Structure 1
């Protein structure tokens, strides 16, 4: 399944969209649109397998944030609020306005902000391996956790990790401070849409009690664990796609009652 690739310029910043849908149906009438947002240092490639699985039944858009995935560096650090706004504006510029926002790692912070700022465009939110547990918010601890996670990710994902990190190093270093400062445990309480928190059971970065706590802080939150490491969406792409689809359908049925 070949994705349509477009680079959008918003407020002088480049955002790249990779759109894929069943039988190539890229029109906006195929609702909802599942938007996939990568973590720090990464790109759309961290959702390659899960996007392929999701695109069998949904219109999907996988995003490359400014300075990542080979895009030009933003030249400055961008707050999670700026990134969340950019994501929604970029996707809406292509006709999508009924969104399931899926963010992994730092991307969970981004989509939380997107949902907080644009509630009318967002139907539900999926936080995959949301960072960062309160007690781990320091650079040495984060680096240690990332190193430990690498041992469990597997050859393919480690290849993506290394190559994506190398080409995004400038923006990576700029985004570390905003990511470390971000208080997800507070902002998730402002998201009124249904929130699903997904954790990999072997994830050394996102501890179980933290992930459960994030779901509990969301007004309409729930929690699910799948076997796997930090990038659990790529370890089990079909199961993850099914989970996202079932979550969306359950919320739709709830809204009809």
Structure 2
């Protein structure tokens, strides 16, 4: 379905009945990242998910956004649909939006579920690698064959944990990525008071398990569940286990 929010056409889906669960996807994905868990939860919850601006079937912003802009957009989306989420679920970048939005009071929910959430400051060595990679990307390395240029850039971004940047074609969204990832939300996490479930794949190299443990320490009373043999897209790799963890956490 399509809806116009702040002059942007937005793709969204709304299924099921019960308490409202709003799901926010990660960077370079879409609402379909939750295709596995949605049917497992829609018998208990009203599942609302959208493509954030610049992703999936939604229009991109006309200028670069920061995390706060996405927070305000999600708030406007909820207002347009006339919903007050009972549960906020965010994967990766979606978790970043939830951390900022809830800590500032712009978004509210009775309970939060953060899946492989982004938001904590990148390790310094990775940050340096990312800067090197982004500069190489801008230089173009015209003195190297195209195939070698591409492999070198991808290798550096991979070492920095940010191949997402390399895959963005829009200059506006590249700047949005840079603005969003610069923000350290550790202080925001400490202000979270809602009961929070953290779900992590043990083999996640994008937002490693160490980030999950740090978030658990920062968010008072939060619970960390680790799924073996899963990585960054743990909810796609193990939808049944993730849905079961969410259901038990919400209904307990």
So what's the TM-score if we normalise by structure 1? 0.77
The separation in 2 between residues aligned to 1:172 and 1:112, in whole angstroms, is: 21
Alignment partner of 1:6 is 2:2: yes
Distance 1:63 1:117, change over 3 A: farther
Structure number with higher helix proportion: 1
Give the 5 Å matches for 1:100-139.
Answer: 100-118=87-105, 121-131=108-118, 132-135=120-123, 136-137=126-127, 139=130
Aligned residues: 220
Q: Give the Å deviation of 1:8.
A: 3.1
Q: Is the 8 A contact 1:42 1:69 kept in 2?
A: yes
Structure 1 runs not aligned, ≥5 long = 148-160, 251-257
Alignment partner of 1:57 is 2:44: yes
The separation in 1 between residues aligned to 2:25 and 2:186, in whole angstroms, is: 19
Structure 2 runs not aligned, ≥5 long = 134-155
Alignment partner of 1:41 is 2:32: no
Which residue in the other structure is 1:151 paired with?
A: none
The separation in 1 between residues aligned to 2:241 and 2:171, in whole angstroms, is: 34
Which residue in the other structure is 1:153 paired with?
A: none
Distance 1:67 1:177, change over 3 A: same
The separation in 1 between residues aligned to 2:86 and 2:100, in whole angstroms, is: 14
Q: Secondary structure at the match of 1:210?
A: helix
Q: Is the 8 A contact 1:13 1:74 kept in 2?
A: yes
Q: Secondary structure at the match of 1:75?
A: coil
Alignment partner of 1:79 is 2:74: no
Q: Give the alignment's Cα RMSD to 1 decimal.
A: 2.3
The separation in 1 between residues aligned to 2:221 and 2:172, in whole angstroms, is: 33
Which residue in the other structure is 1:218 paired with?
A: 219
Q: Give the Å deviation of 1:85.
A: 2.3
Q: Give the Å deviation of 1:123.
A: 1.0
The separation in 2 between residues aligned to 1:170 and 1:41, in whole angstroms, is: 14
The separation in 2 between residues aligned to 1:81 and 1:53, in whole angstroms, is: 31
Q: Is the 8 A contact 2:98 2:107 kept in 1?
A: no
> Structure 1 residue aligned with 2:243, among 241, 244, 251?
241
The separation in 1 between residues aligned to 2:107 and 2:175, in whole angstroms, is: 30
The separation in 2 between residues aligned to 1:204 and 1:120, in whole angstroms, is: 29
Which residue in the other structure is 1:254 paired with?
A: none
Which residue in the other structure is 2:15 paired with?
A: 20
So what's the TM-score if we normalise by structure 2? 0.78
Q: Kindly provide the CA deviation profile for residues 38-65 of structure 1, in whole angstroms up to 9, marking residues without a partner as x.
A: 1111111211112222213211111111
